[in-house]
Structure 1
């Protein structure tokens, strides 16, 4: 898998990673344990009677905590892996990211690991002699962390059974896609951009899915080299090594200087799988996959397919009132320096309407819902989308009111 190339893309990859929250919890636990162990010789806190009376009892307590937390952590990992396997087989492999980015799952794992590491550091700091003072505050914090871990474990079991429900998964995909829609250019922004002739083409040096495009960095390069840059693939497209990745255009009234291919290619992050964010079509692909798998003979879950289409209906309706998005970065004087297109509305309709219709031929409930969705979109869509919608309208004779 290729690594993100820009600072913003790397920070986003770290922020969305599964290990970030457990790592923060672990570092905090180790740091706190070391700090308390170092300061307790100077503290005189009234915590006597709560902790064991001697080093032997403290060692026994901490050893039990460490053993229990290792078991808790292993159990959480096992439950999470089972949840991922069930989601992958029953819904779609592309919904795994929803579980891996769940902050509750990450926080539960972080709490268990933090308790284990805190107890281990305190155990190492215990005095060897019976007459030496015990780190009573650290032992008290260890007990409090065990109680917190027990409560966290109970809530984790409740949470994991909730997020595995298909309605919750579909709702999460919809919420994620709505956030992507919110980051699209405003509908009132001019979409038509006229650029000069192509003076240079930058090929891709590796194959993969286009995950992220740093348009601001591309605009800065265009400004430095007096040109405009167009991203050829859209986010979510698969680009082949050697295929055109960027095109350099002549800016108004200037002669562009050759663009360094290595610097330009750093602005586009390529990975092995699609990710949400700039890839507007990823959520629609997930919803279509869930519906198609639910309609397969092996599953035959029409209600799940209906729920996926309903969520897609909301998303399609939001996009029907705005033109196909084009991301443009301009100078202060309005000169276009970088441009990137996104998935077209026609392609989104094909993903949801055409693909699901193909597998739902024997399910009148789903077919009626798809027909109702297309009719509703036709009533609110911009003229630019009318042709794509009208091609998918059912014949008037087939009109049936869906109760």
Structure 2
């Protein structure tokens, strides 16, 4: 629910409208000019009803015009972002609190003017209230002017490719602690080898009633389950998976045969939705950066520099993720003796997701392929030896695609120099050289 609220254009404006309504009523009926400190009274000139009404009417007209312009600009930016960077990047733009706040200031200021105009007749003879409401209105008008200038500047920066990449990467870093939490949240949750998990006599399958993407899995509630006779749960899906109606998603290991009534407490522990979310999905932010790179490499845009920037951020993301422990596959609740087996994410999968599609789409761009090899070399310097085979496979695949594109001799030399970093120079280049020699001998 919070994911949907935080990426909406209505939540912050509604909160601001409520606050502005309270401020307006306070200026009209609560606050008196004579009760304010002397240094503040000097800044509140005496205003008559005609002047207050004209000021409120002028500001309301100007604000509603500025609001329509701001909304039109926002829609244009969202349309451009969807076309250039991909529709899934719209979440990053809609999550921008600066845009939400500016729209909230504009609509709440208009509401302030409307409410003040509606009640202006009731304070016709109250000089203090007329003076206060006029001064506050003038302040709000200046604030809206500054907000509009900031909004134009902000949107002009937000649509730039480098800024979009940076924003997506910053969102990833901000959510990294929640995406990859510490394996043991509580002292009674301990990782255990799968081979020592206790066996159960009955295995009950739990099926999905509807289809959609797995958004969250409440692992804590599974481990704290109090269903009588249950030994453990085997969760077959993870965040980001697409589930069809009737798919098996959980296998319940129990010492007794269970009925549907016994399993009602499991309803809602696996939340499905119509789209993927980054709540428990560390690959979500990686996919966003990959999508930006793929759009940049498309024939319609053909911008390899943006793809290279994405590769730098993806490499940094892989290094940051390597410094945090990934969730364990099997966990035992030592308090209730309930175990949990699940599919988890791993760094090898993240590395493959980061480079596979970019490598395939960028095979016609030698500069992109060479930069992939540079990024893989940086990964090999920062990551442990256990990831060496994955990095070498990526390097071999990149080299093969580059050579299939028939690069020039200079480019071949550059590829060869970079492949030396992976100790696979001979295995990649020797077969091709021998093939050329056989071809030359036949001629």
TM surpasses 0.5: yes
Q: 1:36 to 1:219 in 2, by over 3 A?
A: farther
Matched residues in 1 for 2:206 and 2:324: separation? 31
Indicate the larger mover: 54-63 or 75-84. 54-63
Equivalent residues of 2:224, 2:333 under 8 A apart? no
Matched residues in 2 for 1:328 and 1:168: separation? 40
RMSD: 3.1
Q: Deviations over 1:305-337 (max 9, x none)?
A: 000011001112233456653376653548445
Q: Do residues 78 (structure 1) and 72 (structure 2) align?
A: yes
TM-score normalised per structure 1: 0.85
Equivalent residues of 2:204, 2:258 under 8 A apart? no
Structure 1 residue 177: deviation in Å?
2.2
2:23 corresponds in structure 1 to 32
Matched residues in 2 for 1:191 and 1:173: separation? 35
Matched residues in 2 for 1:298 and 1:262: separation? 52
Secondary structure of residue in 2 paired with 1:201: strand
Q: Do residues 158 (structure 1) and 162 (structure 2) align?
A: no
Structure 1 residue 21: deviation in Å?
1.3
Indicate the larger mover: 85-94 or 207-216. 207-216
Q: 1:131 to 1:244 in 2, by over 3 A?
A: same
2:394 corresponds in structure 1 to 392
Equivalent residues of 1:222, 1:338 under 8 A apart? no
Secondary structure of residue in 2 paired with 1:393: helix
Matched residues in 1 for 2:371 and 2:126: separation? 75
Matched residues in 1 for 2:308 and 2:240: separation? 25
Matched residues in 1 for 2:61 and 2:367: separation? 54
Structure 1 residue 106: deviation in Å?
0.8
1:375 corresponds in structure 2 to 377
Structure 1 residue 355: deviation in Å?
1.0
Q: Deviations over 1:215-248 (max 9, x none)?
A: 2233333567644233321111111111122222
1:178-257 equivalences in 2 (<5 Å): 178-183=173-178, 184-186=180-182, 190=191, 192-193=193-194, 195=197, 196-197=199-200, 199-221=203-225, 226-250=230-254, 255=256, 257=258
Q: Do residues 90 (structure 1) and 107 (structure 2) align?
A: no
Q: 1:127 to 1:225 in 2, by over 3 A?
A: farther
Equivalent residues of 2:105, 2:144 under 8 A apart? yes
Count of aligned residue pairs for this structure pair: 390
Equivalent residues of 1:180, 1:278 under 8 A apart? no
* Bigger RCO of structures 1 and 2 (CA < 8 A, at least 6 apart): 1
Larger radius of gyration: 2
